[in-house]
Amino acid sequence: MRLAGWILIAACAAGCERHAPPPAPAAAPTVVATAPVEVATRLGAVALTEVVTGLDRPWSLAFLPDGSMLVTERPGRLRRIRDGAVSAPLGGLPSIFVDGQAGLLDVAVSPDFARDGLVYLSFAEPSLRGNKAGTAVLRGRLGDDALESVEVIYRQEPKLSSGTHVGSRLVFGDGGLLWVTQGDNRVAETAQQLDKLQGKLVRIRADGGVPDDNPFVGNDARPEIWSYGHRNMQGAALHPVTRRLWTSEHGPMGGDELNIPDAGRNYGWPVITHGKDYSGSAVPGSVGASADGMEAPHHVWPVSPGLSGMAFYTGEALPQWRGNLFLGALATHELIRLELDGDRIVGEERLLGERKQRIRDVREGPDRALYLLVDADAPDGKVLRLGPVAAAVVDGAATHRAAPDKAARDEAAAR
Ligand SMILES: [Ca+2]
């Protein structure tokens, strides 16, 4: 197997297109719904269930109004999970650049899905020659076994790199506008260049058009840009109360950030950062951790957790976690739980570290449980569910059973 891999790499080095669709893994992913395992946390136990196994580098999940689930796999597959089964990869997707961090990335469901049936995907789009990639967004109508009427509504052009630091999350804000988080394509200086889309948070209309009130409309800049100076944003979520977008961003070595990006502001990369270059020296071009005209991060981690997808928890199923912000951590193999007071972060707990799994995404499900993606090659890519422990229900049932038993005993004693 390893030998075959090396032969494949050698063949690709000789010129095969790296964005050719990869072969699907031999075993199809399956819905398993394992017995729940109790996980101790600072605020009591929760129940962890493996819902789906056999996925190949799952990157994002989204729920449809009927409760079924869409999951992307980074090698270029979109699957639908419903009625206890995982579909074959849906057709209709364009050529996708798959290499390293690049591939099929986020999935978002149209806020108007019941009427328009549209699904949005972010992905690494190959250049015409196939040697470079840029972040792009498509939308298509969800059919039974394919996306139909697919159109690319947004793309980074020119494309700069071989597919590192491509982001990307998609979040619909109020008014149906679409946020797209991106990376700097590992060409750090582009994050400060307003004529390029790399290293930017952009805000577009659902059809790809530019909202009139974007901050750089009418200026000598790309009008899609909302904020700039971003390194690689792989997480984003809308705050349920303030309705503002929060983003997570990978620092270099250290300095992962949370930001609440304001219109037109500069978030500093690579000029200001709390991290170091991977060589251990200062980031080239950086002046330190702060500078005039550049925004400090809302929150920063000195040691990089490797932040990925994130979600605010709003449900009733896990009341102890209501209002908390959850972030997947790739490097430290954890789910991070942040306690908030308004926008201020006042507490942090690291969960699931003992499982040693890269947490790629986290979403709240229609059943108000938290759903997580484990980022691993097939067959170890998984959907996990964190919900309330069934013990409470069992205890309740036991209590419920005990009561008539006692009544029966009392009655017997009375006789
Ligand atoms: Ca920053």
How remote is the CA of residue 282 from the centroid of ligand 1, in Å? 15
181-232 pLDDT, tens digit each: 999 999 999 999 999 999 999 999 999 999 999 999 999 999 999 999 999 9
Per annotation, catalytic residue among 165, 230, 250, 333: 165
* Domain parsing of the chain, residue ranges: 50-414
Residue 21: predicted pLDDT: 57
Structure confidence by residue, pLDDT tens digits, 59-81: 999 999 999 999 999 999 999 99
- Both structure tokens of 79: 């699957």
255: buried, middle or exposed (CB in 10 Å: 19+, 13-18, 0-12)? buried
Residue 47: its H or E element: strand 46-55
Q: Is the pLDDT of residue 395 over 50?
A: no
- pLDDT value of residue 12: 37
Whole-number average pLDDT of the chain: 90
Cα(268) to centroid of ligand 1, in Å? Answer: 5
pLDDT mean over 19-29: 68
Write out the H or E segment, with its range, that includes residue 204.
strand 200-204
Tens of pLDDT, residues 385-394: 999 997 444 4
Question: How many angstroms separate the alpha carbon of residue 415 from the centre of ligand 1?
Answer: 78
pLDDT for residue 185? 95
Tens digit of each residue's pLDDT (9 = 90 or more) over 118-174: 999 999 999 999 999 999 999 999 999 999 999 999 999 999 987 899 999 999 999
Share of the chain above pLDDT 70, in %: 88
Whether residue 341 is predicted with pLDDT greater than 50 in this model: the reply is: yes
Active site residue 333: no
More confident residue, 307 or 8: 307
What's the average model confidence in pLDDT over 10-38?
66
The per-residue pLDDT for 28 is 87
On whether the CB atoms of residues 360 and 375 are closer than 8 A, the answer is yes
- Give the Å distance between the CA of 165 and the centre of ligand 1: 15
Q: Which of 64, 50, 198 is nearest to 135 (CA)?
A: 198
pLDDT confidence band for 11 (50 / 70 / 90): very low
- In the chain, what is the greatest distance between 2 CA atoms, to the nearest angstrom? 93
Q: What is the DSSP string of 357-406?
A: --EEEEEE-TTS-EEEEE--STTSEEEEEEEE-THHHHHHHHHHHHHHHH
More confident residue, 100 or 94: 94
pLDDT in tens, 26-60: 678 999 988 999 999 999 999 999 999 999 999 99
Reported confidence tier of residue 313, pLDDT bands at 50, 70, 90: very high
Query: pLDDT at residue 414 above 90?
Result: no
Assess contact for 199 and 230: CB atoms under 8 A: yes
Worst-scoring range by mean pLDDT, 8-17, 203-212, 266-275?
8-17
Please tell me the CATH superfamily of domain 50-414, with its number.
TolB, C-terminal domain (2.120.10.30)
Question: What is the whole-number distance in angstroms between the Cα of residue 352 and the centre of ligand 1?
Answer: 28
pLDDT at 9 over 90: no
Positive or negative, the Cα torsion across 309, 202, 167, 85? positive
15 pLDDT more than 50: no
**Other beta carbons less than 10 A from residue 287's beta carbon:** 14
CA distance 200 to 184: 8
CA of 8 to the centre of ligand 1 (A): 39
Q: How much is the pLDDT for 20? A: 53
Residue with tokens 């000789």: 14
How many whole angstroms from 338 Cα to the centroid of ligand 1? 19
What is the average pLDDT across 274-302?
A: 96
How much distance in Å is there from the Cα of 308 to the middle of ligand 1? 16
What is the reported pTM?
0.89
